[in-house]
Amino acid sequence: MSGLIVITYFGVFLAAIIAAFIVELLVVALYPNVSVPQQHPVRKTKISHAEPSPSCIRQDVSFNVEGNRISAWLYLPDDLSSPVPCIVMAHGLGATKDMGLDLYATRFRDAGMAVLAFDYRHLGESEGEPRQLVWIPYQLQDYAAAVEYVRSLREIDGKRVALWGTSLSGGHVLVTAARDDSIACASAQCPMLDGAAASHEQLHRLGIKYALRMVGHAQRDLVRSWLGLSPHRIPIVGRPGTIALMADEDAWNTFAELASEDFVNEACARIAIRIDKYRPVSYLNKIKCPVLLQVCDYDFALPPKVVEVAARKLGGLARIIRYPIGHFDIYHGAHFETAVNHQIQFFKERLFKG
């Protein structure tokens, strides 16, 4: 009898906790007039290493995913006497194709490769509601659809399709390669390989107060999406000490350098409590193609232990190049030149061999 009483009390206690949690979520979601101050990175300087290419060397194209038009740029090399290899690329967390992808794509095109650079659904020039939604499963679908699109083009050799990613998309290309055995090779620049490890580093750098505030904003947005209400958005990048997905001076300065005047510095906050569940490193043992991993030694999002795991899982498929720089340094000046030249060499060796 006493055991039954204990079980009953435990059930009541558990039900009370669940009810309290539900109430907390509803309060967070429905509390009126909750907003985060907007922040607007202003491009102050021109990119030092290159200027965007003339639009005449690229075509505006599109393809569809789940009824949404995906906006893309297609670069084709001058020599199209036979089908050419193609690199599919998209940007990192919240960024769009007009934020420096042209600088990479032009270099790959000049080396004889076609390139497709696209905006994910909900971002940039692509369709998708709600706007500014960064949702990893959707972005992975977009990468797969982009690969299928280029394989349908007569100018492209479907057996020589490669992937390029940076930061968050550096993880995307590895997951995509793990799911598609026909990918020729993949290049991942300062990749986000383990969301849990990256979030732990973020907690260590920014503190528990920042983490709890981010959880609150993310919960508000996620529950509002369940209830069919308008999204709750926060800045993608922000000054240190502010609420943003990346409240970091280097991130702020890089976005200020690369962002166009119409860049929308907002994202649906729900991604803040989902990104730690994303672990591309767990897919690496399924990859069958060569991989270039470009690791920034002082990258807060890529702890050394994760790089060691990646190296072990990829084995002989991996070419790992390390740079004594931080996560955002690879987009600038001499560091950009070094990294992009390593990428060109890797792609040429893998896509033109034999």
- The pLDDT, as a whole number, for residue 40 is 72
Please, what is the end-to-end C-alpha distance for the chain in angstroms? 79
- The pLDDT, as a whole number, for residue 41 is 76
* C-alpha dist (Å) from residue 111 to 75, 86, 88: 12, 11, 15
- The pLDDT, as a whole number, for residue 353 is 74
CATH number of 55-196+269-351: 3.40.50.1820
Domain boundaries, the chain: 1-30, 55-196+269-351
| Inter-helix orientation angle 208-226/2-30, to 10° | 90
- The pLDDT, as a whole number, for residue 32 is 47
* pLDDT (tens digit per residue) in 89-100: 999 999 999 999
- The helix or strand, by DSSP H or E, that contains position 21, with its residue range, turns out to be helix 2-30
Look up residue 152 and give its amino acid.
S
- The pLDDT, as a whole number, for residue 300 is 84
- The pLDDT, as a whole number, for residue 165 is 98
Look up residue 53 and give its amino acid.
S
User: What are the mean pLDDT values of the chain's consecutive 10-residue runs (354 residues total)?
Assistant: 60 56 50 61 54 72 98 97 97 97 97 98 98 98 98 98 98 98 98 93 86 94 96 95 93 93 94 95 98 95 92 97 97 96 98 81
* pLDDT (tens digit per residue) in 231-246: 999 999 999 999 999 9
Nearest to 150 by CA among 96, 73, 81, 53: 73
CB 316 within 8 A of CB 345: no
Tell me how far apart the alpha carbons of residues 212 and 207 are, in angstroms, rounded to a whole number.
9
| Inter-helix orientation angle 136-151/168-179, to 10° | 60
Q: Indicate the pTM of the whole model.
A: 0.90
Buried (b) or exposed (e) across 98-121, using 16+ Cβ within 10 A?
bbbbbbbbbbbbebbbbbbbbbbb
- The pLDDT, as a whole number, for residue 116 is 98
* C-alpha dist (Å) from residue 34 to 6, 216, 237, 240: 42, 11, 19, 21
